[in-house]
Amino acid sequence: MSAARVGVVTFPGTLDDQDAARAVRLVGAEAVPLWHADRDLKGVDAVFLPGGFSYGDYLRCGAISRFAPLMDDLVPAARAGLPVIGTCNGFQILCEAHLLPGALTRNASLHYVCRDQRLKVEQTETAWTGAFERGQEIVLPIKHGEGRYVASEDTLAALEAGGHVVFRYVGNPNGSLNDIAGIRNEAGNVVGLMPHPEHAVEELVGAPSTDGLGIFASVLKNLVNA
């Protein structure tokens, strides 16, 4: 059978698309470049929204990317069940697009944080985390100035009650409510997280772990089984 095809989106100001594409290839899938200005998902089986500073973070992080032509196709596809993950700026875009609840705001410290971060995997019932063990601790790099997850009390309660918190920080780096590092939507096909799995796939480049591979392996496993 042909390899699963994972789209990697590039907006103006995206930084991590090449790393994401490389990670996709490392697990044996085909990385398909998607351009923000095209209304064309090229028939991909899943989509990765990488980090960076799309549209210069103007207005709010992700606020303008949300209206890119590609998003006109991506939002309904995600609502219909297409596996979509956003890391860092990608997570911010998913929140701005209302595919995930809540928002990412300035770190409580006001400092940009760049470090290796320990996380706990809270949910394996998603399209992107099935290869992990529930409760497993992993280490992924973080690098962001606006990663403090906030949501209304009702939304937070619903996230917790529904088991929609996917990753929690062990040692909160940014003041996120409930130590939330990543969440999923109701269906589990859309996941957003601030840490960077695409930067933790090869030890050769000094990554703190290869734990990031689990994200890519998870979606691939689902696609192959589908």
Partner 1 sequence: MARVIVDVMLKPEILDPQGQAIARALPRLGFSGVSAVRQGKRFEIELDGPADEAALAEVRKMAETLLANTVIEDYSVRVEG
Indicate which residues carry an active-site annotation.
88, 196, 198
CB of 168 to partner 1, least distance (A): 19
Where b means 16+ CB within 10 Å and e means fewer, 21-40 reads bebbebbebebbebebeeee
- Residue 130 or 147: which CB sits closer to partner 1? 147
- Residue 92 or 124: which CB sits closer to partner 1? 92
Selected range binding partner 1 among 19-27, 36-44, 147-155, 159-167, rule: CB under 8 A: 147-155
CB of 211 to partner 1, least distance (A): 30
> Residue type for 133, please?
E
67 contributes a contact to partner 1 by CB under 8 A: yes
Beta bridge mates, 63: none
- Residue 150 or 223: which CB sits closer to partner 1? 150
152 contributes a contact to partner 1 by CB under 8 A: yes
Spatial distance between the Cα atoms of 220 and 226, rounded to a whole number of angstroms: 10
The site string for partner 1 over 95-114 (x = CB under 8 A, - otherwise) reads xx----xxx-xxxxxx----
- Residues of this chain, 154-213, that bind partner 1 according to CB under 8 A: 175
Query: DSSP code of 207?
Result: -
CB of 74 to partner 1, least distance (A): 18
How many residues of this chain bind partner 1 (CB under 8 A)? 20
Longest dimension (CA), the chain: 50
Please state, as a whole number, how many other Cβ atoms lie within 10 Å of the Cβ of residue 136. Answer: 15
* Alpha helices, DSSP H, located in 104-152: none
Query: Contact 129/215 with Cβ under 8 angstroms?
Result: yes
- Residue 175 or 208: which CB sits closer to partner 1? 175
